[in-house]
A and B are shown apart, each in its own frame.
Chain A
Amino acid sequence: MSSPALAKGMSGWFRRGPWEAGAMTLIGGGIIMLVQPWSIDLYSYSFVTILAGTVGYVIVSHFPE
Chain B
Amino acid sequence: MDKMTTISQPDDATIASMSEPARSRATRRVRGLSDRTIAWLFVAPTIALLLAINIFPLVWMIRLSFTSLNLSMSYLPLRFVGTDNFTDILGDEDVWFRLQTTAQFVIWSVTFQVIIGFGLALLINRQFRGHSFWTTIILLPMMLSPAVVGNFWTLLLQPQIGPFNYLISLFTGVAPSSFSMTGQVSLAPWTIVLVDTWMWAPYVMLICLAGLRSIPDYIYEAAEVDRASAWRQFWSITLPMAVPFLMLAVLFRAIENFKMFDMVNLLTSGGPGSTTELVSITLKRAAFEKWRTGYSSALAIILFVTVFGAANIYVKALNKVKQR
Contact = CB atoms under 8 A, between A and B. Distances in A.
Interface of A: 20, 23-24, 27-28, 30-31, 34-37, 40, 43-47, 50-51, 53-54, 57-58
Contacts of A43: 90, 96, 99
Contact of B93 (A27, A40, A54, A58): A40
B305 interface: yes
A47 B301 CA distance: 10
B313 A24 contact: yes
B310 interface: yes
Contacts of B305: 47, 50-51, 54
Contacts of A40: 91, 93, 96
A6 B99 CA distance: 47
- Residue of B86, B93, B306, B316 ringed by the most chain A CB atoms within 10 A: B306
Contacts, number: 50
A57 B93 CA distance: 29
B54 interface: no
Interface in B78-102: 86, 90-91, 93, 96, 99-100, 102
3 cross-chain pairs, A with B, having the tightest CB-CB distances, nearest first: A35-B103, A27-B309, A54-B309
23 contacts: A20-B316, A23-B312, A24-B312, A24-B313, A24-B316, A27-B310, A27-B312, A27-B313, A30-B306, A31-B306, A34-B306, A35-B99, A35-B102, A35-B103, A37-B100, A40-B96, A43-B96, A46-B90, A47-B90, A50-B305, A50-B306, A51-B305, A54-B308
B86 A47 contact: yes
Nearest to A58: B312
Contacts of B308: 54
Given A35-B102, A47-B86, A57 B91 contact: no
A24 B93 CA distance: 27
A31 B102 CA distance: 12
Contacts of B309: 27, 30-31, 50, 53-54, 57
Nearest to A42: B96
Interface residues of B, number: 18
A57 B102 contact: no
Nearest to A20: B316
A42 B93 CA distance: 12
A50 B103 CA distance: 16
Contacts of B103: 35
B91 A44 contact: yes
Given A54-B308, A58-B312, 15 more contacts: A24-B312, A24-B316, A27-B312, A40-B91, A44-B90, A44-B91, A45-B90, A46-B90, A47-B86, A47-B305, A50-B305, A50-B309, A54-B305, A54-B312, A57-B309
Nearest to B106: A35
A50 B312 CA distance: 12
Contacts of A44: 90-91
Contact of B313 (A28, A36, A45): A28
Contacts of A34: 99, 306
Nearest to A53: B309
B167 interface: no
A50 B309 CA distance: 7
